[in-house]
Structures are given as C-alpha cells and as structure tokens.
Structure 1
Amino acid sequence: MIIFGSPRRYLQGRDAIARLGEEVAKLGKTAVLVADAHVLDLVGAKAQASCKAAGIVLTPITFGGEITHAEVERMAGLCGANPPEVVIAAGGGKTIDAGKFLSGKIKAKLATMPTVASNDSPTSHIIVVYDENHKLTGVEKLAGNPDLVLVDTAVIAKAPAALLSAGIGDAIVKRFEVEQCVGVRGNNVFGGRSPLTALALAHACYDTVRVDAVAALAAVGRGEPDEALERMIEASVLMSGLAFESGGLSVCHAMTRGLSAVPGPASALHGHQVAYGLLVQLALEGRAADFIADIRGFFAQVGLPLSLADLGFTGGAAEIATIAELTAQAAHMKHFERPVSALDLVAAIESVEAAALVKKDAA
C-alpha cells in the first residue's frame, strides 16, 4: 500500500509573517511561540502583532538550544495546567523539532515558521532527538504533519549563507535516496510504499537545486529575496520534505548516525552531513567518474563538503571505522540496492577522501 503525507497548509512569500495571525486563528485562539532568544528578537514582535490583530493570545517560550527530552518537559511545564491550542515553532531545525515534540506532548495543533532554509524539518512529522552532548539519540514521530507551515522569505534572505548551503545539501540528496528506496521497494517514513508522486518530487527538487542554488545564495548575499531564492526555498523546505517522508531515505541520512558520533562532524550542520553522505552513497553505487566530478563541482560552488576535513574532522582510521560501524547499523541502510557492511563504507569513505586529495593537489 502506498502512503503519502503532507502538511495541511503551506504559505511562502515575502512578509508572510503578517499572515500568521489569520492563519493560526483557523487552528485556535491561544498559542505559544517556541523560539530561541535570537529568533524571538527577530520575529517575536511581528508575530505578536499579527496574532493580536487576529484575537489570538500568544505567549513566548524561549527554547534552550538542544532538543532533549528534559528540554521538552521543561517547556511543557511552562504551558501550565491549561495548555495552548496551538504551538508555533519558529527558527531552525532543532527549534522546530522541539516545537513539534511539545505540540505532541500537550496535544496542541502545530504551526512551523522557519527563519532559515537549512533543512526540511518544517514540513515533516519527524522529530530528531539529541542528548545534552549534542549526540543524536533517536527519532520520534508526531501523529501527523504540521497543520500550518508559514515561510517568510524576507526573513530567510537575511540568514547566513551557510545555512542555505546546508538546505541545498539536505535537498539535493533526496533524489538519490528516494531512487534507492523505490528501487528496493522499501517502506517510506509512514510505513508504506513510496508513491510515484514522491519520486517525481525528489527529481523536481534536484532539478530546482541545480538550476537555482547559486543564484539563491547570491540573493542571500544581498539580503533580498528574488525568484531564484523563492524557488530554492520551496525546494529545500517543501519539495525536499514531501519527497523524503513519502519517498524514503537511504545511505545519505544513515551517515548522520556515524558522523554525529565523532568530534568535528558531530557539530556540522545536518545538511552538510548528509551532503557528505551523498558522496559516500555515490561511491557505493559505483557512479561514473564524470557524474561524480559534476556533483563535486557543484558542491564546490555552493559550499558543500568535499571531505571529512570540511566537516571539521581531525581524526584518523579509528574514527572513520566508528563512522562506518554506526552508519552500517542505521535503519535507512536497508534501502540500498545491495547489503552494505562497515568495511564497504570504510572503502567508500576512503575513495571520497582520495578524490578530495587529488583535487587539492591539482589546485
């Protein structure tokens, strides 16, 4: 049986935050705004004004910075005995996942409002949980996708370019992961088969990224949204999210299990981790040299990692073995055309690293 999931409503555009109140009013009359201190300074006043105009009582909750069970319990306690009807999660991936977790715990509707386009968390029902040492510990799931996703592109245009680069990385991998999952007739994140719709979205996402990523980064450099940035944001937030949840994941995202366990890569942005994972997946697939060279050339253009060193890695063979062992154990690894061992992964990583050295020597 195929299963396709998605948010109930998606809005994107310049100054979209002005629509927040009227959109949230369709979900409830009381809400909390979960955001870190920086994002509260950035969008808190506009969100409050929009909600007040729509008759919504909005209370801010400052997110502590890491999505742990303890942090979510703390925020739930702040909601009191009469929890709000709506949780609005604003910020990057971890804050949005924290808001998701909170909404599930207090049984509230969920609105996500990304202030960066660094990943596709805003559209999904997946929650990635960490410990206090920033190590990935597991994944939780909401009963459904967000009720509302509201994306203000004027805000995202002013975010650091490195964050959009991460979003480009998170988006470009979906074509290759969904292809593998569909190829082995694996289950998607909803536990069903992948519909052709998800594969089409994954390809559209890839094509959009390749056409618009460089110009979108230039728009972020100017701090002003344009059509290229609008398309890139749609790809990195909406297309990418729909593709991965309904299409399935493979080696690229399995790599986060290993990379998050070693110093350096553990602190890298999620989109940069999975982008490196794509280079490993392409090596495992045995892709042609010219195809890999094209991908690596694109990575260089948009600030994506070409080596473990680009992720902050300073270790050696022992740490690479750790990455490979943990990655081989990840559930997504079963969505690949053949069984992959830790030794296979070490060999693939070594080939990626060798290609980076050749490029460096040539330069």
Structure 2
Amino acid sequence: MDKIIISPSKYVQGENVLGSIASYVKALGANPLAIADEFVTGLVGETVKESFAKEDMPLAMDVFNGECSRVEIDRLTDICATQKNDVIIGIGGGKTLDTAKSVAFYTKIPVVVVPTIASTDAPTSALAVIYTPEGEFAEYLLFPKNPDMVVMDTKIIAGAPVRLLVAGMGDALSTYFEARANMTSGKSTMAGGALTRSAQALAKLCYETLLEDGLKAKVAVENGVSTTAVENIIEANTYLSGIGFESSGLAAAHAIHNGLTKLEECHHLYHGEKVAFGTLVQLVLENAPMEEINTVLNFCRSVGLPTNLFDMGVKEINKDKLFAVAEGATAEGETIHNMPFPVTAQSVFAAILTAHQLGQ
C-alpha cells in the first residue's frame, strides 16, 4: 500500500486576518459566494464585505440554514449555478464548512474555509459529514482534494464561547489514539493509503500540545484574551488534528460519536464532546494501560470535557438504548473496524459501560 499524506493547499492563521480575506481569495476566483449562518453573518459579515470592497471585487452572500444536509447542499448548488459563482467561501462552524466543501465539489469550483470557531478538525479535511435534516448522522462524503484554502482569524476564534474551543480539544484528543490504532492495524487511512511518519508525528504533536496548553488556553479564553497557548491550541484543534486524523486514519472514537447521535439526550452536545467520551471508550476497548486512561480522564476533567454518560445529559442508564448506540458504532463501513482486532456491538456496549463507570 502506498503511503499518502494530504492537506489544504494553503493554511493561513493570524489575528484579524479576516480583514484581508479578499486578497487571498482573488487568486482563486473573481465571483465568490460566501455562506454563513445568521449569527456569523452578524458577527463578521461587514468585515468580509469591506475586505472585498477594498479589492474592488463582487461578493454574494447567502444564509446557511444550520444543517449540513443533502437538502441544503442542493439548494446552495443551484444558487451557485444560477449566479455563476467561481469560488465558494464557507464562514462559521463545522457544518457550514462541510456544506461549502460539498457545494464546491458538486459545482467543481474552489473552496475557501473560514472557521469562526476551533471546535472540530473539519476545516482542513477532504471530507464532509452529512446529516439528515433532523440532525442524525447520515454518511461521510469524501472529496478528491482538500480545501483550496483555510483561513483562521485567531482574534475571532479566541472571542468565541470557551465551550467551543474545548469541544475542539475533545475532537483533537482522539487524533493520536486513532492514528495509533491504524498504525497497528495497517488499515487504509482517509487519505486512501498507508499512514506516513509525518502524519504520525503531527498526530502525536497534537496530543502533546493539548496536554501542555489545553488548560492554559481555556483559562485565557475565559478571560477574553488570546495567548501563545490559545494560538497553539487553535493550530492543534484545526491543522494538527485535521492532517493527523485524515492522513493517519479514524478508528473507534469517531464511530462511537456516530453511535451516540442515536441518543436523543446527547443531541445538545458538540461533536468534540461526544468524541472525547468516544476516546475513553476506545481506550477501554483496546485495554489501554490505566495510567494512560487516567491521563486522558484528568485532561478531560481539567478543561471540562465529559467523562461519563451523566456528564453528557443521560439521566438513567438504559442498556437497550446503549446497545443501540453500540450497534450504530459497529455498523458496516464504520471506522471502528480500523481497530487492530475484531470489534462487535457487544464489546463496544461493554466498553461504553466500563468507560462510563471509570469516568465518574
């Protein structure tokens, strides 16, 4: 199997970089469409419009409806075709960005991804997570290439609610452990080949950065300031985790997340909050040393990530519902089958209950 590492064509990170976004976008197209939800449009819409006005470029904007579903992708694809847009800009959270990537794929135009939060590693990936209009996981959509550009305005990201940055840490937390599982199993990664030493190194650096700077970054953002730790965590949550997961592979943690979307009590949680618990379940599933499990538990507690089902909003342990979660996590084609041993719904069910107990 060939070794493959993939990444965005350009990654830009800096304070107030959104004010000069047009200077970066003009290299890709002359008739852009920007999508953002109502809140993000209110937050950064004027800054983006002013940037394009300075460059004497047109800009069409449309309001994203909040769910990365086939219905929304089709709606925006039609708009792009009608307006003859030649580049799409997604501004906001993971679902907005995944929608922009999907529209770019179907219309065959470049995409610029502009996260306003660092809550997932979605921005850099050649992948979108498609949900039903009701918010249940439906499918992964794989693209032939990564985004043409990722633009991270650290001032805006640091100004977002701290819970979002912490959720990004939860998503990034799984990167090293899922990479390690794929390295052991030898399974193909999301990049379509064997993992490289470079991707392994990025995945490990991601985990080390979280342990070193996670709590410091959380405290800084709680106080409305950006520090070196915040900059490092934004890079870890986005670039290190993004390249790390995609070129090193997903395994149990993200499959557990997908299973948890079947629990109505967990619908209020962010992606990374569910992935953090999925990471604990993966460590139990592979019978990791207790010292390692405790390190992860302590990290989660220090930054406020859930470590048990009660933390996630579950009121009582319903074993039938949890077995349905385990069945969802082990469905055919799920990434849990990248683990270096056979995984069944029964073994996942047992790991969920054990992780829940250890995390209390």
What is the CA–CA distance in structure 1 between the aligned matches of 2:82 and 2:33, rounded to whole Å? 14
What is the CA–CA distance in structure 2 between the aligned matches of 1:242 and 1:290, rounded to whole Å? 27
Aligned to 2:136: 135
Identical aligned residues as a percent: 34
Is residue 253–residue 336 contact of structure 2 (8 Å, CA) maintained in 1?
A: no
What is the CA–CA distance in structure 1 between the aligned matches of 2:119 and 2:26, rounded to whole Å? 28
Aligned to 1:326: 328
Say which is worse superposed, 312-321 or 42-51, in terms of deviation: 312-321
Is residue 250–residue 332 contact of structure 1 (8 Å, CA) maintained in 2?
A: yes
What is the CA–CA distance in structure 2 between the aligned matches of 1:81 and 1:132, rounded to whole Å? 24
Say which is worse superposed, 75-84 or 276-285, in terms of deviation: 75-84
- Mark the runs of 5 or more structure 2 residues left unpaired by the alignment: none
Deviations 1:209-268 (A, max 9, x none): 111111111121122211110000000000100011111010001112210111122332
Aligned to 2:181: 180
- 1:51-200 maps to which residues of 2 (within 5 A)? 51-200=52-201
The residue identity in structure 1 corresponding to 2:351 is: A
Cα deviation for residue 313 of structure 1 reads 2.1
Say which is worse superposed, 255-264 or 73-82, in terms of deviation: 73-82
Aligned to 2:293: 292
Q: What SS is found at the alignment partner of 1:127?
A: strand
Structure 1 vs Structure 2 CA RMSD: 1.2
Cα deviation for residue 355 of structure 1 reads 1.7
Is residue 96–residue 121 contact of structure 1 (8 Å, CA) maintained in 2?
A: yes
Number of equivalent positions: 357
Q: What SS is found at the alignment partner of 2:59?
A: strand
- 1:269-280 maps to which residues of 2 (within 5 A)? 269-280=270-281
Cα deviation for residue 103 of structure 1 reads 1.2
Q: What SS is found at the alignment partner of 2:297?
A: helix
What is the CA–CA distance in structure 2 between the aligned matches of 1:292 and 1:190, rounded to whole Å? 28
What is the CA–CA distance in structure 1 between the aligned matches of 2:327 and 2:267, rounded to whole Å? 15
What is the CA–CA distance in structure 1 between the aligned matches of 2:292 and 2:6, rounded to whole Å? 32
Cα deviation for residue 196 of structure 1 reads 1.1
What is the CA–CA distance in structure 1 between the aligned matches of 2:282 and 2:17, rounded to whole Å? 37
Q: What SS is found at the alignment partner of 2:264?
A: coil
Say which is worse superposed, 1-10 or 328-337, in terms of deviation: 328-337
Is residue 81–residue 107 contact of structure 2 (8 Å, CA) maintained in 1?
A: no
Deviations 1:252-311 (A, max 9, x none): 011122101111223321101111011101111212223212211111111111111222
Aligned to 2:305: 304
What is the CA–CA distance in structure 1 between the aligned matches of 2:358 and 2:91, rounded to whole Å? 39
The residue identity in structure 2 corresponding to 1:189 is: M
Q: What SS is found at the alignment partner of 2:22?
A: helix
Is residue 30–residue 58 contact of structure 2 (8 Å, CA) maintained in 1?
A: yes
Task: State TM-score, norm by structure 1.
Answer: 0.96
The residue identity in structure 1 corresponding to 2:181 is: Q
What is the CA–CA distance in structure 2 between the aligned matches of 1:110 and 1:41, rounded to whole Å? 22
- Mark the runs of 5 or more structure 1 residues left unpaired by the alignment: 358-363
Q: What SS is found at the alignment partner of 1:111?
A: strand
Is residue 71–residue 133 contact of structure 2 (8 Å, CA) maintained in 1?
A: no
The residue identity in structure 2 corresponding to 1:348 is: A
Q: What SS is found at the alignment partner of 1:225?
A: coil
Is residue 11–residue 151 contact of structure 2 (8 Å, CA) maintained in 1?
A: yes
What is the CA–CA distance in structure 2 between the aligned matches of 1:106 and 1:76, rounded to whole Å? 7
